[in-house]
């Protein structure tokens, strides 16, 4: 079975839950356990929150897009914003690093620990795209930066 969903919403904190529910529904189509779905929801929350908080720096008029596909036993979730972008992706992925001193800086750490692959693409002034993959069956862990 193959299915795909694209959801676009304004950069409002209230929309994090919307993204979680939509992706959880897609994940449920390919046999993830309830525990797996909860972990996927956390990863989605972190990616969407990063887009809203860091990408748009509190602006509520930016767009965030969540695309999700299921094919076979794999879920692919992409979260994209067109905000400020990330100047140093490797630094942003370091534990406890944050551009906001009020934040713990663990978003990417959570995403990487809960998904089988995380790819981050970003350019200052152009936005950020985070692609996360998880298979319903346990496999090798892969982390890529582009």
Catalytic (active site) residue 59:
no
134 catalytic residue (yes or no):
no
In the prediction, which pLDDT does 106 show? 66
Answer for the pair 135, 116: CB distance below 8 angstroms, yes or no.
yes
For residue 93, the model assigns a pLDDT of: 78
Candidates 46, 112, 121, 131; catalytic one: 46
Helices (H), ranges, 11-102: 15-27, 34-50, 89-92
pTM of the model as a whole: 0.86
User: What digits encode the pLDDT tens for the residues 31-86?
Assistant: 899 999 999 999 999 999 999 999 999 899 999 999 999 989 999 999 999 999 99
The predicted structure's pLDDT at residue 144? 40
Q: Are 28 and 75 in contact (CB under 8 A)?
A: no
Beta pairing partners, 127: 123
93 in catalytic set: no
Helix (H) or strand (E) holding 110: helix 107-114
| Nearby residues of 117 by Cβ (< 8 Å), 6 or more positions away | 131, 132, 133, 134, 141, 142, 143, 144
- From the candidates 65, 74, 103, 133, which is the catalytic residue? 103
Residue 104 has pLDDT above 60, yes or no: no
The b/e string for 75-90 (b: 16+ C-beta within 10 A; e otherwise) is bbbbbbbbbbbbeebe
Is a pLDDT exceeding 60 seen at residue 143?
A: no
């Amino acid at each position: 079975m193959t299915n795909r969903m694209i959801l676009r919403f304004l950069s409002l904190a209230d929309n994090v839950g919307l993204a979680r529910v939509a992706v959880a529904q897609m994940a449920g189509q390919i046999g993830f356990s309830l525990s797996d779905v909860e972990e996927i929801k956390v990863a989605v929350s972190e990616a969407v929150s990063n887009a809203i908080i860091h990408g748009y720096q509190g602006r509520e008029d930016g767009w965030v897009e969540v695309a999700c596909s299921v094919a076979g036993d794999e879920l692919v979730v992409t979260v994209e914003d067109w905000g400020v972008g990330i100047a140093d992706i490797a630094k942003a992925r370091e534990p406890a690093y944050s551009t906001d001193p009020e934040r713990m800086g663990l978003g990417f750490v959570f995403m990487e620990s809960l998904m089988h692959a995380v790819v981050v693409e970003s350019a200052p002034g152009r936005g950020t795209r985070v692609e996360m993959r998880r298979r319903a069956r346990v496999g090798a862990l892969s982390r890529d930066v582009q």
